[in-house]
Amino acid sequence: MKKITKSMISDFILGVVLMLLTLFFFLLSWGPLETLENGLYDLRASLRVTSSKAPVAVIAVDEQSIANLGRWPWPRAHIASMVELLQSYQVKVIGLDIIYSEKDVNQGLVEVRNLIRSIEGEPEPAEPQAAEANPPASRKAAAQSRPDPKKQALSDVLTALKESEKRLDNDTILANAISAGKNVVLPLFFVPGPPTGRTASNLSPDLLRNSISPAGVDDSITARAMVPPIPEFASGALGLGHINIFSDADGTVRSEPLFINFEEKLFPSFALQLTLKYLNYDLKQIRLGKNITFGRKKIPVYENNRMLISFNERIPYYSYFDVVNKKIAPDVFKDKIVIIALSAAGLGTMQVTPVAVNVPSGTVIANVIDNIINGDHITRPDWALTLELIVILLFGLYVALVIPHIKAGISAAVSLVLLLVWMTATIYLFAAYGYWVKAMYPALLLLVGYIVIVSKRYLLTEKDKDRMEADSVETNKMLGLSFQGQGLLDMAFDKFRKCPVEDESVKDLLYNLGLDFERKRMFNKAVAVYQHIAQAGDFKDINDRIKKLTTAGETMIFGLSGAKKEATVIMENTEVKPTLGRYEVVKELGRGAMGTVFLGKDPRINREVAIKTLRYEEIDAEQIDEVKKRFFREAEAAGKLSHPNIVTIYDVGEDYDIAYMAMELLDGSDLAKYTKKENLLPVPEIVRIVSAVASALDYAHANGIVHRDIKPANIMILNNGEVKVADFGIARVMATSKTQTGVVLGTPSYMSPEQIAGKKVDGRSDLFSLGVVLYELISGEKPFNGDSIATLMYNITTTAPQAIQELSPDLPDAMARIVEKLLAKDVEARYQTGKALADDLLACLK
Amino acid sequence: MAKVLLKYKEAAVKEIALDKESTTIGRKPDNDIVIDNQAVSGHHASITMEGDRLVLEDLGSLNGTFVNGQKISKTELFNGDVILIGVHTLNVTSEKNRSQETKGFAVRGRSMDETMVIAPDDQKKIIAAADKNLPEPLGGFVVLEGSTQQKEYELKERVSAIGKEDGSAIKLKGLFAPKLAAMVNRRKEGYFITPAGGKELKVNGKIIDRRCDLKDGDLVEVAGLKLQFYLKE
Amino acid sequence: MNLTACGKTDQGLVRANNEDNFYLDEKMGLLVVADGMGGHASGEKASGLAVSLIRDYFQGPQKIIGSPDPSFSEATNRLGCAIRLANQAVYEVAQSSPQFKGMGTTIVAVLLTGRKLSIAHIGDSRAYLIRAGSIDQLTDDHSMVQEQVKRNLITQEEADRSEMKNILTKALGIQPEIEADLDELTVMDGDILLLCTDGFSNMVTDDDALDMISSAQNGSAACESMIDAANRNGGKDNITVVIGYVWKEKWYSALMKFMEFFRR
């Protein structure tokens, strides 16, 4: 069971609020959101487009026709001839989408009529008038109208006038054409607006014939004025229908109002009227309601008796000019609805539809007809609203309950899937069945909900992160302090380093740590701490401290090896090159048993030397003086030794509380690596080395100095092959430096039995150790071993080593005997002098 | 030095020393051990040194990585283990034997008398069978008779007292009420009640003189109180 | 509620060094016992570090770091937080150098705040409550056998005899993050708290401990006799016992002090 956290509760509330907001906008049909929904509608509509199959054709008064037949408006007779032509093509219904709301004003006709009137009605007074106005014609007409030649002539004139009146009377021509075929539907235009309040006042019978009374409450679009065709046309027309096109707020035409309410009469749309007539229905047969029905046709409508138009393409479309010139086969129009409409630029209003722009209104009308005839409608089914509400609810719950509980990545995927499923479903319903389900609101809820919840969570986790960072700073401070308290200064520094150094309290902590480092004489660490503080600006006296300490560090690297006294003296030393006695210290070479070894330079004779220093750290404070004293005694004694196989000691001294020893700088390696099985030296070489050591020991012993720590690491082979023994007497200095009395120091594996026993040792002890080295150089194994120092020591004092020839069968017997003699437990049984050993060894080679 | 011997159908192909911190195995040429076979993923598996442990990890390969016949995602390797990748096998040679490991539970310490620690991984192995969060019983008393501050008490603490004394879970009122009448202990295995302060304690009508386990529905009579014990599921 | 405490630690008879550590702060109401483990001196280091870190934490601002567990009081969360920090410190030191590698420690700590006693522990060091003549263990050992007992795999008797008794399933400082087991208890006047390491609990039975504590004149005598008892029974491990007496300031205590003054 997952824990319910506060943030999840607030996520839930947020989700619910978003859902309610969506519902609110949904029920309100808020404009901007509706526009979005319309966009989706158009997208889906464009997926629904098919080619039109309806028996409709549009004859367009297009640019081509205008160019060839003259400027618009054309004489009505032209239109009449087109109507007649179409009638001759056996067109079923003609929709003449041109409004003739006024009589044709033809100056010629007026004149002709006046003439006729004057000749017929008042010949005398009219004569001069007519003669004045139209002397030759009136004279002729006057001549025909009389029995006498003059009258006859006047009568002829009158006939001719009547002829020309007939020719000129476009209205009559057109009216005749319209009424002739009884198949022309004419347009009405309404000025939309609030109802006038009158009821069918002054409506001509023709208009009444083309309208129906609303059934019950009617919500059709109302009009405040009507522009009907002139009565001559209206009376002859098969039907009348309004050609008003209403676009949505975004200017796109998506629906057709099938009726317009004018003075409590419902006038059908032009397209509806055409369809009715085409299908031989009368307007009176229509039943209103949620669907508008007639016969078996059922037109789903929604508010304002509007029908959603499903736009299709490839509605047959012909140029007026082509038709007039009979370029189009008559069959094309036979038994069809033909709409004559304006489409040339500047003539008709171009409409925008979901699937195209610049659509002439004729095409819109044709689409409506197409939809009705084919029963191909876009509808808002009854269940659409329910479905939308349910989906909004579901998505809302998903946002409120599910998203907060799953990972952002998963919820992104799930949300995307939900969105896709929903969109696909709505698109499918639309494209396949023409069901319009508003996809936008649920989709928007899903998207916005996801973004809000996830980004909120993201911001919260960021906040959490900040808090955790603050926590970790606190933790680091605590731990750092604790480590510092425990003397783990390095770890403390590590911890403090993780705290923001800009913080004054952190600076303080670091500063104290720096002081601690100084107290421990770890100057370079202290400098590192101060420099870390310095990153965030000056603090207390850190800059001074850094300066002092760096100088100290340069002059006195030895400070690091831990002299006990405060290094104030050193700090004031401003010499650039660190020195020790008269030697310039170049660099550290390594750490030995005694202390750090430096590479030094004697500036007077430009000789490089190795400088060994005495490490005081492991020496108890009260013993330092004594240890130093012994150090000098031993070093001086060793310094007196001058032998080709002994490392020469040049100088001993003390500087800044550090005892040092300057000695020959050797370029080579020690013997340690030749004790490995895979690295063994040939026997003659071993003999050469060991005999050289033996002679060095012989010399030293003769001078009363015992090495005490003969081991491979203390025997150097120089690059030129010379053998040198190092560290005479040092073991003694170090051995007694420990507080424990009676403890022997040396390297356990190479110690002689008497050394282990803590007895006084002499040169023969060194020879035993050399025996161990020899054994090891020959066999690659130590003669005495042990899991612990105790067993090792026991073995050295009591057990005999494994016979060396078992390990190295090829070893000459003489050599084996030498080894055996060297490793004798009894001092007396060993070689007594180094020289004796060297002689025996060299004898072996012969 | 640990090493693996790459074999194909029992024929040794080559021996690879595991001297790097991480050795990768796969079909692509940038692997340390390249096995050019369609059954092998581009980056199939890796062998890493974690301290003295040799760890084989499957890098999300298509056909899986098997050690001694078992499919693994990440496991420690021991001497003599056989890794199967595709149709190739890799024989592991290392200083560490499997038996040592399992025997010792990776216990640190010098002897069995000493406090030892087992690493969390091993601990998981040992106690893998059982769920970490054992459900702890939770229960309390409903007061049937007697004057108390509440009608019902839920006892969450390990030790709860019934008495007049401050700090008692079920606090008695009245001048003569005992300071401490009984103690109720909550344990993983259930609740039990112990009389205290020499007061008579009855459970289901029987006088109790030592600890007595409480079951759901038990009637407890103490210091003039009649309580019914209940356990929540 | 007030706390009076005393504690004692002993190397035992077998061990060469004492890796236990404890800390008492009567004013703060804090008692801590830790039993370190690891080679050489590192066990000592681990327990020392853990105890000192907890001490440092409670002497500092006691800021709760990390998200507190709402089911416990603030004081208990502070105790848990201190142990988390101690774990981190021990773990990091253990990782820092090979000589400390693998070191760890058990910890048991109680903190008295008013009437509420916060109990936190990791490992097999225990806290007991002695009230009205009976002794109750307040902590469940994080040892393998105890886990087995919890799961009814073995009985308590088998567990006590088990060779694996010393194998811990949880210890401070062996993994980067760990949560202590936390618990709370309402204390009463006269309650006695006993904190001890396994060197004591493995050597002396609970009832014996109860007898010793109730019969002892004072805290230090009780500690003394408990350590002696553990050593008498073998003293196989370091022994540490800490006893805390919970008492309420009586309304007449000022008067008593006054009388005391005159009696001198």
pLDDT at B109: 38
Q: What are phi and psi of C97, to 5 degrees?
A: -145, 150
State how far the Cα of A109 lies from the Cα of A620, in Å rounded to an integer: 141
pLDDT at A594: 62
pLDDT at C228: 93
pLDDT at B120: 54
3 state SS for chain C: CEEEEEEEEECCCCCCCCCEEEEEECCCCEEEEEEEECCCCHHHHHHHHHHHHHHHHHHCCCCCCCCCCCCCCHHHHHHHHHHHHHHHHHHHHHHHCHHHCCCEEEEEEEEEECCEEEEEEECCCEEEEEECCEEEECCCCCEHHHHHHHCCCCCHHHHHHCHHHHEECCCECCCCCCCCEEEEEECCCCCEEEEECHHHHCCCCHHHHHHHHHHCCCHHHHHHHHHHHHHHCCCCCCEEEEEEEEECCCCCHHHHHHHHHHHC
Gap from B108 CA to chain C (nearest CA, Å) = 7
Considering only CB atoms, A478 lies closest to which of C49, C56, C92, namely: C56
Best mutation target, A463, A473, A482, to test chain C (most C CBs within 10 A):
A482
pLDDT at A788: 60
Judge: C183–B158 Cβ closer than 8 Å, yes or no: yes
- Mean pLDDT score across all residues of chain B: 78
pLDDT at B115: 52
State how far the Cα of A601 lies from the Cα of A151, in Å rounded to an integer: 157
Instruction: Give the C-alpha distances (Å, rounded to integers) separating C139 from A601, B187, C118, C119, C193.
Output: 68, 10, 11, 8, 12
Q: Is A225 on the interface with C (CB under 8 A)?
A: no
Judge: C151–B134 Cβ closer than 8 Å, yes or no: yes
Render pLDDT for B32-52 as a digit per residue (tens, 0 to 9).
888 888 888 888 999 888 877
Render pLDDT for A697-747 as a digit per residue (tens, 0 to 9).
998 888 888 887 788 888 888 888 889 888 776 655 554 433 333 344 567
Q: Is C92 on the interface with A (CB under 8 A)?
A: yes
Q: Quick check: A423 and A391 in contact, CB under 8 A?
A: no
State how far the Cα of A517 lies from the Cα of A524, in Å rounded to an integer: 9
Half-sphere exposure at residue A443, Cβ-oriented, CA atoms within 13 angstroms: 19
Q: Quick check: A708 and A729 in contact, CB under 8 A?
A: yes
pLDDT at A561: 36
The residue of chain A with its CA nearest to that of C58 is A478
For residue B85 the two structure tokens come to 């990748």
Q: Is the pLDDT of residue A620 over 50?
A: yes
* Range A485-500 average pLDDT: 84
Gap from A613 CA to chain C (nearest CA, Å) = 27
State how far the Cα of C111 lies from the Cα of C24, in Å rounded to an integer: 10
Gap from C168 CA to chain B (nearest CA, Å) = 5
Gap from C210 CA to chain B (nearest CA, Å) = 15
Radius of gyration of chain A (CA): 61
Q: Give A472's contacts in chain C (Cβ within 8 Å).
A: 65
Judge: B196–C106 Cβ closer than 8 Å, yes or no: no
Judge: A485–C60 Cβ closer than 8 Å, yes or no: no
Judge: C132–B180 Cβ closer than 8 Å, yes or no: yes
Give the three-state DSSP class for A299.
Answer: strand
* Range A80-103 average pLDDT: 86
Give the residue, A554 or A695, on which the prediction is more confident: A695
Chains B and C touch, contact meaning at least 3 pairs of CB atoms under 8 angstroms apart = yes
3 state SS for A59-121: EEECHHHHHHHCCCCCCHHHHHHHHHHHHHCCCCEEEECCCCCCCCCCHHHHHHHHHHHHHHC
Nearest to A383 by CA among A435, A440, A319: A435
State how far the Cα of B226 lies from the Cα of B205, in Å rounded to an integer: 10
Judge: C65–A488 Cβ closer than 8 Å, yes or no: no
Considering only CB atoms, A474 lies closest to which of C56, C63, C92, namely: C63
Render pLDDT for A31-53 as a digit per residue (tens, 0 to 9).
788 888 888 888 888 888 888 88
Instruction: Give the DSSP letter of residue A740.
Output: S
For chain A, the chains sharing at least 3 beta-carbon pairs closer than 8 angstroms are: C
Q: Give A5's contacts in chain C (Cβ within 8 Å).
A: none
Instruction: Give the C-alpha distances (Å, rounded to integers) separating A746 from A212, A826, C182.
Output: 128, 19, 54
Q: How far apart are the first and last CA of chain C?
A: 28
Respond yes or no on whether the N-terminal peptide bond of residue A73 is cis (omega within 30° of 0).
Answer: yes
Reported confidence tier of residue A617, pLDDT bands at 50, 70, 90: low
Q: Is A5 on the interface with C (CB under 8 A)?
A: no
For chain B, the chains sharing at least 3 beta-carbon pairs closer than 8 angstroms are: C
Considering only CB atoms, B159 lies closest to which of C167, C175, C185, namely: C185
Q: Give B123's contacts in chain C (Cβ within 8 Å).
A: 144, 169-170
Tell me the percentage of chain A whose pLDDT exceeds 90: 3
Tell me the percentage of chain A whose pLDDT exceeds 70: 86
Q: Are strands A239-242 and A184-192 parallel, antiparallel or unpaired?
A: parallel
The residue of chain A with its CA nearest to that of C97 is A491
Best mutation target, C20, C179, C188, to test chain B (most B CBs within 10 A):
C188
Q: Is the pLDDT of residue A565 over 50?
A: no
What residues of chain B have any CB closer than 8 angstroms to a CB in chain C? 105, 107-110, 112-120, 123, 126-127, 129-130, 134, 157-161, 165-169, 180, 183, 185, 188, 194, 196-197
Render pLDDT for A804-845 as a digit per residue (tens, 0 to 9).
888 888 888 888 888 888 898 888 888 888 888 888 888 887
Q: What are phi and psi of A37, to 5 degrees?
A: -60, -40
Q: Give A491's contacts in chain C (Cβ within 8 Å).
A: 92-93, 96
State how far the Cα of A139 lies from the Cα of A341, in Å rounded to an integer: 44
Render pLDDT for C31-81 as a digit per residue (tens, 0 to 9).
999 998 876 567 888 898 899 899 988 988 888 877 788 889 999 999 999
Count the Cβ atoms, other than its own, within 10 Å of residue B44: 27
Best mutation target, C92, C97, C100, C105, to test chain A (most A CBs within 10 A):
C92
* Range A55-72 average pLDDT: 86
pLDDT at C184: 92
Q: Give B161's contacts in chain C (Cβ within 8 Å).
A: 131-132, 186, 188
Gap from C65 CA to chain A (nearest CA, Å) = 5
Considering only CB atoms, B109 lies closest to which of C37, C184, C188, namely: C37
Judge: B161–C184 Cβ closer than 8 Å, yes or no: no
Give the residue, A626 or B215, on which the prediction is more confident: B215
Q: Is C102 on the interface with B (CB under 8 A)?
A: yes
Judge: C89–A471 Cβ closer than 8 Å, yes or no: no
Q: Give A485's contacts in chain C (Cβ within 8 Å).
A: 52, 56
Best mutation target, A464, A478, A493, to test chain C (most C CBs within 10 A):
A478
Gap from C35 CA to chain B (nearest CA, Å) = 9
Q: Give A486's contacts in chain C (Cβ within 8 Å).
A: 48-49, 52, 93
Nearest to A277 by CA among A198, A343, A335, A215: A335
Domains of chain C, with CATH numbers?
Answer: 2-263 (3.60.40.10)
Give the three-state DSSP class for A220.
Answer: coil
Q: What angle do CA B178, B181, B183 make, to 5 degrees?
A: 150
Render pLDDT for B111-154 as a digit per residue (tens, 0 to 9).
344 555 555 555 554 444 444 455 678 889 998 888 788 888 88
Render pLDDT for A525-543 as a digit per residue (tens, 0 to 9).
888 888 888 888 888 888 8
Reported confidence tier of residue A758, pLDDT bands at 50, 70, 90: low
Judge: A475–C85 Cβ closer than 8 Å, yes or no: yes
pLDDT at A731: 56
ipTM value for the complex: 0.75
pLDDT at B170: 87
Q: Is the pLDDT of residue B203 over 80?
A: yes
pLDDT at A618: 53
Q: Is A473 on the interface with C (CB under 8 A)?
A: no
CB-defined contacts B:C, below 8 A: 108
Reported confidence tier of residue A591, pLDDT bands at 50, 70, 90: low
* Range A785-793 average pLDDT: 68
Q: Which residues of chain C are modeled with pLDDT < 70?
A: 39-41, 151, 162-165, 263-264
pLDDT at C21: 92
Considering only CB atoms, C89 lies closest to which of A471, A472, A482, namely: A482
Judge: A471–C65 Cβ closer than 8 Å, yes or no: yes
User: Would you tell me the crossing angle of helices A135-144 and A107-120 to the nearest 10 degrees?
Assistant: 40
